Chain A
């Protein structure tokens, strides 16, 4: 079996932990999060007959007082960037996260999850997504609206990341 380390990164409150909860096979309980600032979950996905086991590190932080602990980024092969569609600043901050990650693991695969799509109308979603794509499409292979609440786009996002990391080797 092939295992890969993935990280989940983005501003506080954008819904990282909620997305993970939607998706995984098994996880350590949230009590770790506040203690060491990371929570690890496991999910296995079949991509073209290959089973990929993703060990997803949900990294706490992303506020001014408490920046992310960059040691947790080391060794990641894939990165899920999460922003909150209802807070544009969180989308703005994505570039900073890319910079941080790129410094530590150059060449990692990225997907950008624009979370809480359930709060916006389809039109609003479309508009924001286009705007974001214009800004980040060069760096990020997949940008899509998701909702941890409704489940929209969640599987698709993780699948996209799995496929990317596997094709990169």
Chain B
């Protein structure tokens, strides 16, 4: 059934007959089973509907449930309330009309029974009868989670700021704040009237299934809502946080006049929210942690015990002898001397020790008479010493454990660092590779740049095409393949420069082509032959120079006669002398470059 309808009328229309059917019909058939039926069929429906359509829902509920309830409530009140409370809580109470108000009030009462005065009274009684707060706290488990925090103006009980964990918001926060402050006032008043000065302020209240830890600080009460009672450690943590809030915002609290719309209240709420989230995270880790309060208690007991022992020693003035006895026999005795008599008092755990003790006393004090009041008692002070050493061992064990943990985490962080290091290394390696890859992939640009630099001054180099063109040298007479030697010498020196730039890239060069050209007169076929010859002759001439040959590029040099395909034109008219020439260009092996680049990138 889809309750997310926009029209409330429609909802009521649809909900009502359904409820009628399942409730009333079932009620008639199965007398006295209202509660079961309710929880069985309605829980989820009500829950869903109440989130979106409270008023409509309550109206619908009222029509149908009211008669059922009034019938049932009389003979089955307790169960009814128990069953409905988890479904409705205080949620719907705002919208119910008079006819089910009665039921709601019962439910409210149930909720508020949680705010148990019996419990507070018990606690106060416990305090009066001298049971320490610490002991009380020890009874409680220590893993309390704080779900909300309130800051309440003490004088007026008005809520200044609040924060909650998600889905743990307090219903009616302003009411709860005022109520908590009223209760606190009430108890404080009760205590002050009872005239006892020794009672601490009551700080812990229970409300529904939450526990309120209340701290009074200057002009505010600060409240932490927890799921169980906080132990000493948690309380002092909370106090530290509260103290920081009060320190920071004390003057704001003091001047508060009921207006919670200032940015400072929001800021405070943010601070509290951050604290709540942080402790929620810590809370998960802390379960099972040892109870700090217990150690405090032990430490206090040890300190008191130690103090008492020390007092005894000094009192009897026979410290040295007693100490030796204690050292050698592990027994604590008290020695008192009157004239020549020595009185020994104490407890021994082993009668054989009495003799040994007497020997020591005789030897050190040389008395005429020893009055032996040593008793055999296992519950002697020695027992306490045993306990002390046990506690000590336990403490040491804890310390060791802590040490081990520290060591472990150090190791872990070292391992992490090493990992980071190696990642770093890999990163730089990868960066290098990417740089190398870029260099390879842009090899053509690099070559062009180097050629431009090397042949900057040469009129025969064309930057745009990266070609050599020797048109200006007037190399060939008409229809001849033999060249003018003077011109060809110039060409050779330019070509050598060209080649020496290309030499380092030889692995990626497919070919360097020497092209022979003719002018456009004459027989094309003949021209082709001549130009081939011109190219071949040029190549041969070039290679006759040792320095050029030494560049080791012979294998890449090829020749090509292209006839009159590429004449030289000046203003659209052919310069025939210029047309008869050779040109040189090179081509890169793109595939090989790409392959190499990929290899570099893959680190091969």
Contact = CB atoms under 8 A, between A and B. Distances in A.
Interface of A: 1-5, 25-29, 31-32, 35-38, 40-42, 53, 55, 57, 69, 71-72, 74-77, 169
Nearest to B172: A26
Contacts of B112: 28-29, 31-32
B258 A36 contact: no
What 9 pairs between A and B have smallest CB-CB spacing? A75-B156, A75-B155, A5-B156, A36-B186, A29-B108, A40-B178, A3-B158, A3-B258, A71-B185
Nearest to A59: B182
A5 B179 contact: no
Given A29-B112, A57-B182, A42 B158 contact: no
Contacts of A41: 175
A39 to B, nearest CB: 9
Contacts of A69: 186, 189
Nearest to B94: A26
A126 B189 CA distance: 42
20 contacts: A1-B260, A3-B174, A3-B259, A25-B94, A26-B175, A28-B112, A29-B112, A35-B117, A36-B117, A37-B186, A38-B182, A40-B157, A40-B178, A40-B182, A41-B175, A42-B174, A55-B156, A57-B182, A72-B182, A75-B153
Contacts of B259: 1-3
B365 interface: no
A2 B259 CA distance: 4
A26 B178 CA distance: 13
Contacts, number: 89
Contacts of B182: 36, 38, 40, 57, 72
A88 to B, nearest CB: 32
Given A71-B186, A75-B156, 17 more contacts: A1-B260, A3-B260, A28-B108, A28-B179, A29-B108, A38-B182, A38-B186, A40-B175, A41-B175, A55-B178, A57-B178, A72-B185, A75-B154, A75-B158, A76-B156, A77-B258, A169-B257
A77 B156 contact: yes
A74 to B, nearest CB: 6
Contacts of A35: 117
A71 B174 CA distance: 19
The secondary structure that dominates the A interface is mixed
A90 B146 CA distance: 47
Given A28-B179, A55-B175, A69-B189, A5 B157 contact: yes
Contacts of B94: 25-26
A118 B438 CA distance: 97
Contacts of A76: 156
B247 interface: no
A69 B186 CA distance: 9
B183 interface: yes
A103 to B, nearest CB: 15
A139 to B, nearest CB: 22
B105 interface: yes
A31 B113 CA distance: 9
Given A5-B158, A75-B156, A42 B175 contact: yes
Contacts of A38: 182, 186
Contacts of A1: 259-261
B125 interface: no
Contacts of B159: 3
Contact residues on B (Cβ < 8 Å of other chain), bracket: 20 to 34
A45 to B, nearest CB: 14
Given A3-B260, A75-B157, A53 B175 contact: no
Contacts of B186: 36-38, 69, 71
Nearest to B259: A2
Contacts of B432: none
B517 to A, nearest CB: 95
Nearest to A38: B182
Contacts of B258: 2-5, 77
A29 to B, nearest CB: 4
Contacts of A25: 94
Contacts of A32: 112, 179
A41 B172 CA distance: 10
B175 A27 contact: yes
Contacts of A5: 156-158, 178, 258
Contact of B174 (A55, A57, A75): A55
B109 interface: yes
A54 B302 CA distance: 55
Nearest to B157: A5
A27 B90 CA distance: 11
Nearest to A44: B174
Contacts of B157: 5, 40, 55, 57, 75
A106 B188 CA distance: 23
A77 B175 CA distance: 17
B175 to A, nearest CB: 5
A20 to B, nearest CB: 13
Contacts of A37: 186
A32 B114 CA distance: 12
User: Which of B94, B109, B154, B158 is packed against the most chain A CB atoms within 10 Å?
Assistant: B158
A1 to B, nearest CB: 6
Interface in B151-205: 153-159, 172, 174-175, 178-179, 182-183, 185-186, 188-189
B102 to A, nearest CB: 12
Nearest to B115: A32
Interface centre among A55, A69, A72 (most CB of B within 10 A): A55
A165 to B, nearest CB: 9
Considering residues B109, B157, B183, which has the most beta carbons from chain A within 10 angstroms of its beta carbon? Answer: B157
Contacts of B158: 3-5, 55, 75
